Amino acid sequence: MFANPLGLLALLAIPAVLAIHFLQRKSISLPVSTLFLLDRTQREATSGRRFERLIPSVPLWMQILGILLLTWFLAEPRFQKENSVQRVAVVFDSSASMTVFKEEAIEALRDKLPDLQGNATAMELTLLPSTPGADRIYSGTSVDELVEAMKNVSPTGGLADPSYALRLARSIVSNDGVVIYLTDTPVELLPYDSRLIAVGKPTPNVGFTGISFEEKQGTLTWQALVRNYGNEPTKRRWSLVTSGGATEPREFDIGAKAFVTIQAAFPTGAQNVRIVLTADDFSLDDTLPIVAPQPKQLELFTATSPAFRGLTDKLLRSLQSTRASINPASSDLVITSYDPLDPALPETSAILFVEDPTSVGKYLKGGILAESHPLMDGINWQALLVRETLDLPRQPTDRVLLWQEKRPLIFLRENAGKRILCFNFDLRLSNATQQPAFIVLLHRFAESLRTSKVAPQALNLETGQQIRIATAPGPVDLTATDTEGKKVPAPSTNRAPSKPGFLTITQEGATELQLGGVAGAEDETIPLLTAAVHFADTREADLSDCAPGEPFQTAGDASLKLHTTSDPLARLWLLLLLVALLVAWYFTAGKQQRAGVASSRTPPRQDTV
């Protein structure tokens, strides 16, 4: 192999040298004294300069040898190193839009990877997903095995920055290796000296973007939002499919870049319910699995004095999915008031108001400061006015949430699994009930108790959505199915599956007390979560920006120099070139000198030959 193939053009000098040697000089008349020397004369030409025949000579062979040596030197020959390895790392865009162009991506790797070996004796291949923290897909030396591993990949993730994966790929192949980012959308500038293979093209798509539910005259109704990502209006059909059958398809028109809402009553008691659109190239958003939503029920017990009855009634009406309880010990939330003259604290999670019938103190002065806490984030208490009242007894472990100067107005007490939100002032002697922050805080506290409650619930989730589920001590069992009801590998307990379908999380051995009053004996399997998982990532469903990338460059001078070595005898060839030139010059100059001497002699007797 040659580092400079243009150096081979020097071989064109060989025909030129041969042409020169075909041109013979015109014969010279030599006066001789005797005719017996005629048999020694060499007849070179009879008619002057013309192509006649090639006469071998030392200068001719030395000149040809010099041209060959010069060509060899100019072409810069290089020899393959033993055990040289070309390392290649491919970062595969694992976002959901690549499902449309997966076959094109496989063919691109099959065509381009073999050329990347270049001058190396072997090639090490690594295939990585673009999702941060994901495991390697393939590591080995075979292009065919990498392609087979690629066929088993399901790109269903969301939009992610590939910089982390590209940095990891660069660390694997080192500075001399090749890093490739395989995607469907061209990227102007890639970090870590990465190369781009883009295999996408603009593709129209129509799919679901979300689902909502509403009670209408005692009937649960769903509303699904459909979006057209294409630049042309189109028609689509939808039908409601259950395990028992499907409804008649209904057709609707949808404009370019437009939204359409479709709705119907949720089929009571039906299993494996899903809304199905006309299929297109991007199939993840063509099916929308749904379940009837069922949040956890909170058991509320109120034990306030008549002075707070109006407030507690409003709170009960505003909190959703709650029901009144008559047993404070088994309730999830107790709303009660605290009389400093008759101190008694609840034994379960509670919202506690101070009731001070003896105080009509002055308004407190000083700045109001809210501590950083999830219950207080983003709400404003600056308009709160509070009068002086008796303080609640505090414990060292109490977390103050709101201060006015040095007086704690609101604090949180957590002990032995129970949480008490304490209002350290009399609500009747303040404007707290007129503040939006007060209502928001109460709702956040109630929802935090709902989240930590171990109880059955039914939710509609998005693919990859984080799941927060409370469980009793002991193992849990996850069961995941696709949209057709076939079992698929179970995902982790903290995230929804990456593909649309259904998910069930159950637990054995949960007692009735642990399940918040749900009937069930010990060792009975209790469904903690029943969920439908749908795809709703509008960024990945929009394929209008997909396009092919620029032509891919396989190997360069850096790869050639890395895996080959220069000719170790280069200096010897230069020395031989010099010797050849000197020999050719010697014989050419000597012949001309002898011819000149012979022509200048004047013999005593002339017989013209």
C-beta atoms surrounding 193 within 10 Å: 11
Residues with Cβ < 8 Å from 468, sequence gap 6 or more? Answer: 451, 494
At 292, list the tokens.
């009837």
Same domain as 270, residue 217: yes
- Work out the angle at residue 350's Cα, subtended by the Cα atoms of residues 347 and 351, and round it to the nearest 5 degrees: 145
Same domain (yes/no): 150, 258: no
Do 314 and 442 share a structural domain?
A: yes
Q: How many independent structural domains does the chain possess?
A: 5
CA distance 408 to 492: 42
Looking at the fold, whether 314 and 446 belong to one and the same domain comes out as yes
Q: What is the pTM of this model?
A: 0.73
> What is the predicted pLDDT for the residue at 135?
86
Is residue 609, in this structure, part of any structural domain at all?
no
Range of the domain at 248: 209-285
Cα 410-413-415 angle, rounded to 5 deg = 175
Q: Are 421 and 482 in contact (CB under 8 A)?
A: no
Look at residue 37 in the predicted model and tell me its pLDDT: 54
Half-sphere exposure of 16 toward its Cβ, with a 13 Å CA cutoff? Answer: 7
Using DSSP bridges, classify how beta strands 333-338 and 298-303 pair: parallel, antiparallel or unpaired. Answer: parallel
Type of residue at 110: R
Does residue 177 form part of some domain? yes
Structure tokens at 449: 């108790």
Which residue numbers in the chain have pLDDT < 50?
Answer: 44-48, 511-514, 516-522, 602, 605-609
Condensed to tens digits (0 to 9), the pLDDT of residues 119-174 reads 777 889 999 999 888 889 999 999 999 999 999 888 888 888 899 999 999 999 98
Q: What is the pLDDT of residue 601?
A: 52
**Cα–chain-centroid distance for residue 433?**
48
Phi, psi (deg, nearest 5) at residue 603: -75, 155
Question: 304 and 228 share a domain?
Answer: no
Structural tokens at position 245: 């059958």
In this prediction, residue 520 carries a pLDDT of 46
Percentage of the chain modeled with pLDDT above 70 = 80
**451 and 457 in contact (C-beta within 8 Å)?**
no
For residues 480 and 491, the answer to whether their CB atoms sit within 8 Å is yes
Are the CB atoms for 266 and 222 separated by under 8 Å?
A: yes
DSSP-assigned letter for residue 339: B
Domain CATH number, residue 375: 3.40.50.880
Residue 169 and residue 118 share a domain = yes
Reported residue count of the chain is 609
Amino acid at 255: G
What would the pLDDT profile of 277-290 be if each residue is shown by its tens digit? 999 999 999 999 99
- Residue 201 tokens, joined: 């093209």
CA distance 508 to 521: 10
